[in-house]
């Protein structure tokens, strides 16, 4: 039952181009498609020719006055009809089966393409779109495509073939009656146009009303607890009722037009049936046609008008699916994260002469492989030395977030960023791992311009523990192993112990094999953060970025994991962002950021002695002593 | 199930009755058309009576047009009735949520509540429309067409005795086989979508760990699972059409075979009758197909209805029906008398156990404790967001259950840990605290919450639009707006549940200073991670594992409480 559409009614912009691309996707199933098309033609042909056989059958048993019924002709026609019908059934199954393979396979390819491409998109893309928006490409738009591929296109094709076939035979049987059919066809097309147009308009209105109501529901349910705390229920109810009534109004109009199309078309077809019966009878009396013609013709009317109703219904859903396909292709066409880097990270070992050599085994010792234009290749040891030189950056064209930031982190140093929300702390870390790019040469890693380093290799040399911890569906073990896919079970446990996560993991029902679902909802925020730290620990990179990694861990627990953190940080360059000043005190250098600029730099004692912003922040904690 | 949803028809009863009546009329008018066609052929042509042909033909056209009107009307009625039904249902659900207590809200996730109000209601609406229209039309058509066929030729209609059971069994068999397969497919589909969602949310993690290929592989496997499950399920369903065609065609051929003989031998059947008989066969089998399709849809939407009913049946567990309307909250004193609490309402699984506490009106009280020590749980009992498991919570000397909920919550203002702003301007949001607040009052509250300054820095000031969920302000600004909103209520008790965590320390201490100056009569309860946020309080409660470990001033606790000192030391380490 194709229910009324509740999805968007956007019209596709480039119908031809989109169709071409969809066909491109389907072309992998060329043989299936050809067989399906043969099936469609065969099925339509069977319907048309079997109906035609009504004529000889009726004529043979209804002989002209004085003649005997023609039994041979009757038997032959009925048997032929049975055979043709049987073929029709086989053809019909054949094309449905073929299209099933085509549509499911095509959808899978589209999904995979979309997903693969999504993985390559820059972070900026995700920042500017809501998750719901991207998800709806995978759900709504793909669903519309599925309907179109498995029903829309085959039905449309078979309807067109059938309409053309039936029309030719009708014309051949009786041009007079065909004229009548043409006249009614004209009326029907007008109706489809008027009703269909109205319906589309109202559906757009309904869509808007649904958007408003859903937005309101989402917002109020999200804030349900606040509503209760403020006893705001009556006002919220009133707000909902008025929006709900608007939706009802729009929906009832939209559905009206969707509902009346079928009875109107059906009954116009009955009217045509009545007219053909009457006029045909007149023609038969006049001797222009025989009774068999009327019999076939009356059957043809249904076979002519049904596909037209179907086309009028399918057309909208096909157009909608096309608009959806355009959105899918728009995602696939989105420019991917650019990466012109050519410096790679390789396993290395030190040759007896002290120079670095590439190794194909895991040596636990890494080097940057730097091919030069003149064909030579140099190797630089991976140390974790990071420098910013006058970096100015903004997420949007005219909104600078960082202004002339210069900083250096020597290998093994712990650098902390302090500053209020929006001062640009997270932005700095986003630049280090090239989630966002800055102009050439401004940021150097072990002396190499980071824009020259392949993103994947750059990121492999860094590990991050982010403000919002995200875990994946899977076991605890798999989640920790995410940092190093080939880690052994012992390594996983060691990493967990390092992050002080081992104890709570062992208390979980299945220990390391406990399955985490929906972003680790069965764990507390603190526990999730411990897992994220373990995940970074197992990756064992020279540079570590901790973005408010301990913000959700209470200070007592933090004190417990501090030892683990200290071990983890040993020998690595570490960037720490923290709200809590207690976590940054022992950093080698503390950078105080304000409005995107570094206003102070130094270690804890030096900054306190400086009596600047840091001193204010720090003593702000003690002003009541 | 249906009985409980029926009241939602409400004011749309008229349309709900008219829709099936008009659709029945449509069928009645429609059903006579092939019968009249037979008359034209068997009487009109045979007797060469042109006037008979014209007369009956005109009658047929008139009937078709009348049927058209009935059909269109029923479409309109059904649209009004079903969308009205959906409106009432949606309204009832939404109002029900407003009645929910926190415990009720916790039981359903936000996402599942939204789905119930949107997708599930739409599914139910479609089912309702189907029930009052298609589900009337198809069986009615089936019966009338059968009657007509029997009237034309009873002997010939025996073919139905063969066709209908075969078709029914086949369709039932297909549906039964397909259902579990479809369920499995939907599960795979959900799993795939969940993995996409997960990747979207955690895209930074995926990128940071360079796990693109790993994720791609995982997804491809999951997409292929979906594809295979879909082929498996739909392979069964696509048999529907060919089987239906087969049965119909067998009927037509056998009717032509046996009927043809009768016509030729003049054995009680005319050619026109044979033609109309074939028409009725088509209609009967079409109706059967339609009915089977309706049942599939109805069964599928049954889970939607079940989800809706689950919500409607949800027992509201906090009520104030017997509370005294006139009882006002006299002051801001709070007493906990041997309070136990359990989210699961299970005495063996207590979140708070045997808490005794005395807070005088006007005091400032800090609460310190590790994650999971039940700090939030404790304060949520004060505005009766949850009910105690045992013991009593008293506010102003009365058990919180004696007050009307509105009275109590107006007196107890709470800034939640996870706070929410709503779409609209800053001023509109602040007015949630007090609808009648004047501009001066609003500004005063904002100054106390240290929000006035940044609000003024916005180009539109207090008229700045916040967007859904307050997306246009930073975390710290959001928290300060929430505090201002709570202050506007002029409550007797204000509770800040870790509400300044995103506010920097300097601002935090300024807010506390403002509190001390302006809210000397108000009892303030402050939950905090930072000791500095609570060390100046009149007393500090140290919570540990759902029990009160100690109560005292900063100095007292420093002297005697181990946990407190540990927390303090961890935060002050490295300081001189």
Q: Region B435-456: what's the mean pLDDT?
A: 87
Burial pattern A492-511, b for ≥16 Cβ within 10 A else e, equals bbbbbbbbbbbebbeebeee
Helix, strand, coil percentages, rounded to 5, for chain B = 65, 10, 25
Q: Region A53-70: what's the mean pLDDT?
A: 83
Considering only residues 305 to 364 of chain B, which have any Cβ-Cβ distance to chain A shorter than 8 Å? none
User: How would residue A620 be classed by pLDDT, with cut points 50, 70 and 90?
Assistant: low
Contact of B154 with chain A, judged by CB distance below 8 Å, is answered with no
State the alpha helices, DSSP H only, in A365-449: 425-432
Under an 8 A CB cutoff, do B249 and A88 touch? yes
- Give the closest-approach CA distance of A362 to chain B in angstroms: 18
Indicate whether A625 pLDDT > 80: no
Provide CATH code, domain B334-572: 3.40.50.300
Out of A90, A291, A554, the one facing B41 most closely (by C-beta) is: A291
Question: How far is the C-alpha of A161 from the C-alpha of A42, rounded, in Å?
Answer: 10
Indicate whether A622 pLDDT > 70: no
Indicate whether A377 pLDDT > 60: yes
Under an 8 A CB cutoff, do B239 and A93 touch? yes
Residue B61 CB coordination number (10 Å): 19
Fold category of A15-333 in CATH: ABC transporter transmembrane region fold (1.20.1560)
- CB-based contact A252:A161 (threshold 8 Å): no
pLDDT of residue A228: 82
The rounded percent of chain A whose pLDDT value lies above 70 is 90
For residue A139, the chain B residues in CB contact (below 8 A) are: 193
Under an 8 A CB cutoff, do A555 and B570 touch? yes
A15-333 shares its CATH topology with A386-620:
no
Indicate whether A559 pLDDT > 70: no
ipTM exceeding cut-off 0.85 for this assembly: no
By mean pLDDT, which of A364-378, B215-229, B466-480 is the weakest? B466-480
Q: Region B4-9: what's the mean pLDDT?
A: 85
Pair of tokens at residue B318 = 């906090």
pLDDT of residue B91: 93
Burial class (CB in 10 A: 0-12, 13-18, 19+), A521: exposed
User: How would residue B458 be classed by pLDDT, with cut points 50, 70 and 90?
Assistant: confident
By mean pLDDT, which of A264-268, A393-397, B292-296, B465-469 is the weakest? B465-469
Out of A229, A244, A622, the one facing B414 most closely (by C-beta) is: A229
CA atoms within 13 Å, Cβ hemisphere of B509: 17
State the alpha helices, DSSP H only, in B40-109: 50-99, 102-107
Cα torsion A153, A155, A160, A163 to 10°: value is 180
- CB-based contact B112:B303 (threshold 8 Å): no
> Can you spell out the DSSP letters for A492-554?
HHHHHHHTT-HHHHHHSTTGGGPEE-GGGTTS-HHHHHHHHHHHHHHH--SEEEEESTTTTS-
Indicate whether B207 pLDDT > 90: no
Q: What residues does each domain of chain A span? A: 15-333, 344-381, 386-620
Indicate whether A129 pLDDT > 80: no
User: How would residue A549 be classed by pLDDT, with cut points 50, 70 and 90?
Assistant: low
Pair of tokens at residue B508 = 């935090």
| Residue B316 DSSP code | P
- Give the closest-approach CA distance of A19 to chain B in angstroms: 22
For residue B110, the chain A residues in CB contact (below 8 A) are: 218, 221-222, 224
For residue A459, give every residue at least 6 positions away whose Cβ sits within 8 Å of its Cβ, in sequence order, or none: A433, A434, B207, B208, B209, B210
pLDDT of residue B393: 92
- Give the closest-approach CA distance of A223 to chain B in angstroms: 6
Fold category of A386-620 in CATH: Rossmann fold (3.40.50)
Indicate whether A345 pLDDT > 90: no
Pair of tokens at residue B499 = 């509400």
- Residue of chain B whose alpha carbon sits nearest to that of A282: B50
For residue A468, give every residue at least 6 positions away whose Cβ sits within 8 Å of its Cβ, in sequence order, or none: none
- Give the closest-approach CA distance of A354 to chain B in angstroms: 31
pLDDT of residue B88: 94
Assessment of whether the complete model's pTM goes beyond 0.95: no
- Give the closest-approach CA distance of B312 to chain A in angstroms: 16
Question: How far is the C-alpha of B95 from the C-alpha of B85, rounded, in Å?
Answer: 15
Top-confidence residue, A501 or A615? A501
pLDDT of residue A7: 42
Contact of B459 with chain A, judged by CB distance below 8 Å, is answered with no
Residue B240 CB coordination number (10 Å): 19
For residue A228, the chain B residues in CB contact (below 8 A) are: 101-102, 385, 409
Under an 8 A CB cutoff, do B37 and A282 touch? no
Q: What is the pLDDT of residues B159-183, one digit of tens each?
A: 888 888 888 888 888 888 888 888 8
Alpha-carbon Rg for chain B, nearest whole angstrom, is 36
For residue A78, the chain B residues in CB contact (below 8 A) are: 253, 256-257, 260
Q: What residues does each domain of chain B span? A: 1-153+301-315, 158-268, 334-572
Top-confidence residue, A192 or A168? A168
pLDDT of residue A311: 85
Residue with tokens 């179907």: A310
For residue A71, the chain B residues in CB contact (below 8 A) are: 264
Indicate whether B471 pLDDT > 80: no
In this structure, is the dihedral angle defined by the CA atoms of residues B2, B5, B11 and B16, taken in order, positive or negative?
negative
Indicate whether A78 pLDDT > 80: yes
By mean pLDDT, which of A7-16, B77-86, B143-152, B405-414 is the weakest? A7-16
Indicate whether A2 pLDDT > 60: no
Q: Region B111-127: what's the mean pLDDT?
A: 84
pLDDT of residue B145: 93
Under an 8 A CB cutoff, do A456 and B414 touch? no
For residue A368, give every residue at least 6 positions away whose Cβ sits within 8 Å of its Cβ, in sequence order, or none: A343, A344, A345, A346, A379, A380, A381, A382, A446, A448, A453
Under an 8 A CB cutoff, do B224 and A97 touch? no
pLDDT of residue B275: 87
Which residue, among A112, A354, A36, has the nearest Cα to B199 in the 3D structure?
A: A112
- CB-based contact A242:B91 (threshold 8 Å): no
Indicate whether A85 pLDDT > 90: yes
User: How would residue A3 be classed by pLDDT, with cut points 50, 70 and 90?
Assistant: very low
- Residue of chain B whose alpha carbon sits nearest to that of A118: B200
Which residue, among B527, B243, B512, has the nearest Cα to A88 in the 3D structure?
A: B243
User: Measuring CA to CA, how many Å separate B401 from each of B97, B382, B397?
Assistant: 21, 10, 12
- CB-based contact B379:A229 (threshold 8 Å): no
pLDDT of residue A202: 86
- Residue of chain B whose alpha carbon sits nearest to that of A256: B76
- Give the closest-approach CA distance of B459 to chain A in angstroms: 16
User: How would residue A254 be classed by pLDDT, with cut points 50, 70 and 90?
Assistant: confident
Q: Region B322-327: what's the mean pLDDT?
A: 84
CATH value of B1-153+301-315 in 1.10.3470.10, 3.40.50.11720, 3.40.50.300, 1.20.1560.10: 1.20.1560.10
pLDDT of residue A8: 45
Under an 8 A CB cutoff, do B371 and A119 touch? no
Burial pattern B540-570, b for ≥16 Cβ within 10 A else e, equals bbbbbebebbbbbebeebeeebebbeebbbb
pLDDT of residue A416: 87
Element (H, E) at B419: none
Indicate whether A453 pLDDT > 60: yes
Residue A105 CB coordination number (10 Å): 19
Question: How far is the C-alpha of A192 from the C-alpha of A335, rounded, in Å?
Answer: 41
Out of A96, A223, A482, the one facing B241 most closely (by C-beta) is: A96
For residue B11, give every residue at least 6 positions away whose Cβ sits within 8 Å of its Cβ, in sequence order, or none: B84
Burial class (CB in 10 A: 0-12, 13-18, 19+), A486: exposed
Indicate whether A89 pLDDT > 90: yes
Under an 8 A CB cutoff, do B71 and A263 touch? yes
Q: Region B489-505: what's the mean pLDDT?
A: 82
């Amino acid at each position: 039952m194709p229910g009324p559409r509740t999805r968007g009614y956007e019209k596709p912009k480039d119908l031809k181009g989109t169709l071409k691309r969809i066909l491109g996707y389907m072309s992998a199933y060329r043989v299936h498609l050809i067989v399906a098309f043969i099936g469609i033609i065969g099925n339509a042909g069977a319907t048309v020719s079997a109906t035609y056989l009504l004529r000889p059958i009726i004529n043979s048993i209804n002989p002209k006055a004085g003649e005997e019924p023609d039994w041979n002709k009757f038997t032959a026609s009925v048997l032929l009809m049975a055979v043709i019908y049987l073929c029709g059934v086989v053809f019909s199954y054949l094309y449905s089966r073929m299209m099933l393979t085509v549509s499911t396979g095509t959808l899978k390819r589209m999904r995979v393409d979309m997903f693969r491409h999504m993985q390559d998109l820059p972070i900026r893309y995700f920042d500017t779109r809501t998750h719901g928006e991207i998800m709806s490409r995978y759900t709504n738009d793909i669903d519309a495509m599925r309907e179109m591929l498995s029903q829309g296109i085959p039905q449309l094709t078979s309807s067109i073939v059938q309409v053309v076939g039936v029309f030719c035979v009708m014309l051949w049987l009786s041009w007079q009656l065909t004229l009548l059919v043409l006249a009614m066809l004209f009326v029907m097309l007008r109706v489809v146009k008027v009703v269909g147009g109205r319906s589309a308009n109202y559906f757009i209105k309904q869509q808007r009303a649904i958007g408003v109501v859903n937005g309101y529901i989402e917002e109020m349910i999200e804030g349900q607890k606040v509503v209760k705390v403020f006893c705001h229920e009556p006002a919220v109810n009133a707000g909902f009722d008025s929006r709900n009534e608007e939706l009802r109004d729009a929906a009832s109009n939209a559905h009206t037009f969707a509902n009346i199309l079928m009875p109107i078309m059906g009954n116009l077809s009955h009217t045509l049936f009545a007219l053909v019966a009457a006029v045909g009878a007149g023609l038969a009396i006049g001797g222009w046609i025989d009774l068999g013609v009327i019999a076939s013709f009356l059957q043809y009317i249904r076979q002519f008008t049904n596909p037209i109703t179907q086309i009028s219904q399918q057309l909208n859903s096909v157009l909608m699916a096309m608009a959806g396909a355009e959105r899918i292709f728009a995602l696939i066409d989105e420019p991917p994260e650019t990466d012109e880097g050519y410096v790679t990270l390789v396993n290395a070992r030190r040759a007896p002469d002290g120079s670095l050599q590439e190794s194909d085994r895991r040596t636990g010792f890494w080097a940057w492989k730097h091919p030069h234009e003149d064909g030579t290749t140099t190797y630089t040891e991976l140390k974790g030395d990071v420098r910013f030189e006058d970096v100015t950056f903004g997420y949007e064209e005219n909104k600078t977030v960082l202004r002339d930031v210069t900083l250096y982190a020597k290998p093994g140093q712990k650098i902390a960023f302090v500053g209020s929300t929006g001062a640009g702390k997270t932005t700095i870390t986003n630049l280090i791992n090239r989630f966002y790019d800055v102009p050439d040469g401004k940021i150097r890693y072990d002396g190499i311009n980071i824009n020259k380093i392949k993103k994947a290799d750059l990121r492999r040399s860094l590990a991050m523990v982010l403000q919002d911890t995200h875990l994946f569906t899977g076991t605890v073990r798999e989640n920790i192993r995410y940092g190093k896919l080939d880690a052994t079970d012992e390594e996983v446990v060691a990493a967990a112990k390092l992050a002080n996560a081992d104890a709570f993991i062992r208390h979980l029902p299945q220990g390391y094999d406990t399955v985490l679902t929906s972003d680790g909802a069965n764990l507390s925020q603190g526990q999730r953060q411990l897992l994220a730290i373990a995940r970074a620990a197992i990756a064992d990179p020279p540079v570590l970025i901790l973005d408010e990694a301990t913000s959700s861990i209470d200070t007592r627990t933090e004190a417990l994991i501090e030892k683990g953190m200290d071990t983890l940080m040993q020998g690595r360059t570490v960037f720490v962002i923290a709200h809590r000043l207690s976590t940054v005190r022992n950093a080698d250098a503390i950078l105080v950021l304000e409005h995107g600029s570094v206003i102070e730099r130094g270690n804890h004692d030096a900054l306190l002695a400086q009596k600047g912003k840091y001193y204010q922040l720090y003593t702000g904690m003690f002003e009541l002593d | 199930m249906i009985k409980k949803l029926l009241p939602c028809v409400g004011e749309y009863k008229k349309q709900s009755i008219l829709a099936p009546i008009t659709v029945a009329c449509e069928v009645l008018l429609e059903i006579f058309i092939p019968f009249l066609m037979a008359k034209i052929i068997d009487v009109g042509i045979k007797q060469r009576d042109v006037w008979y042909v014209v007369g009956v033909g005109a009658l047929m056209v008139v009937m078709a047009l009348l049927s058209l009107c009935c059909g269109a009307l029923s479409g309109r009625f059904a649209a009004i009735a079903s969308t009205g039904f959906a409106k009432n249902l949606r309204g009832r659900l939404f109002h029900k949520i407003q009645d929910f207590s926190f415990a009720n809200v916790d039981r359903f996730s936000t996402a599942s509540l939204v789905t119930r109000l949107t997708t599930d209601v739409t599914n139910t609406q479609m089912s309702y429309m189907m029930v009052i229209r298609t589900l009337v039309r198809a069986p009615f058509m089936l019966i009338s067409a059968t009657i007509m066929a029997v009237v034309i030729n009873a002997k010939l209609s025996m073919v139905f005795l063969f066709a209908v059971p075969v078709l029914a069994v086949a369709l039932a068999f297909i549906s039964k086989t397909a259902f579990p397969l479809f369920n499995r497919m939907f599960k795979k589909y959900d799993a795939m979508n969940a993995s996409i969602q997960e990747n979207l949310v955690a895209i930074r993690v995926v990128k940071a760990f360079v796990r693109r290929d790993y994720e791609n592989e995982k997804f491809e496997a999951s997409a292929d699972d979906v594809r295979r499950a879909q082929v498996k399920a739909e392979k069964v369903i696509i048999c529907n059409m060919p089987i239906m065609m087969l049965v119909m065609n067998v009927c037509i051929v056998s009717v032509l075979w046996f009927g043809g003989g009768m016509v030729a031998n003049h054995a009680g059947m005319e050619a026109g009758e044979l033609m109309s008989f074939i028409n009725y066969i088509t209609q009967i089998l079409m109706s059967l197909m339609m009915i089977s399709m309706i049942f599939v849809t109805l069964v599928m939407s049954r889970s939607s209805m079940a989800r809706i009913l689950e919500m409607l049946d949800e027992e509201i567990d906090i009520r104030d029906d017997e509370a005294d309307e006139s009882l006002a909250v006299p002051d801001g004193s709070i007493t906990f008398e041997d309070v136990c609490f359990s989210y699961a309402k299970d005495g063996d699984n207590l979140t708070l156990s045997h808490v005794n506490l005395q807070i005088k009106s006007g005091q400032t009280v800090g609460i310190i404790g590790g994650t999971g020590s039940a700090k939030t749980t404790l304060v949520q009992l004060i505005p009766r967001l949850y009910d105690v498991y045992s013991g009593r919570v008293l506010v102003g000397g009365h058990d919180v259950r004696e007050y009307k909920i509105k009275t109590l919550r107006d007196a107890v203002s709470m800034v939640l840990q996870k706070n929410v702003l709503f779409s609209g301007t800053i001023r509109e949001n602040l007015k949630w605290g007090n609808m009648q607040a004047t501009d001066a009052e609003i500004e005063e509250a904002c100054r106390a919450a240290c929000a006035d300054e940044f609000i003024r820095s916005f180009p539109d000031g207090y008229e700045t639009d916040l967007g859904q969920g307050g997306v246009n302000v930073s975390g710290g600004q959001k928290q300060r707006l929430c505090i201002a909103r709570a202050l506007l209520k002029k409550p007797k008790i204000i509770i800040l549940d870790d509400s300044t965590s995103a506010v920097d320390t300097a601002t935090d201490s300024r807010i506390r200073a403002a509190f001390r100056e302006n809210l000397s009569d108000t009892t303030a309860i402050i939950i905090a991670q930072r000791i500095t946020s609570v060390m100046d309080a009149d007393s500090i409660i140290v919570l540990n594992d759902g029990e009160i470990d100690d109560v005292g001033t900063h100095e007292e606790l420093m002297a005697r409480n181990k946990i407190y000192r540990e927390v303090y030391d961890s935060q002050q380490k490295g300081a001189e």
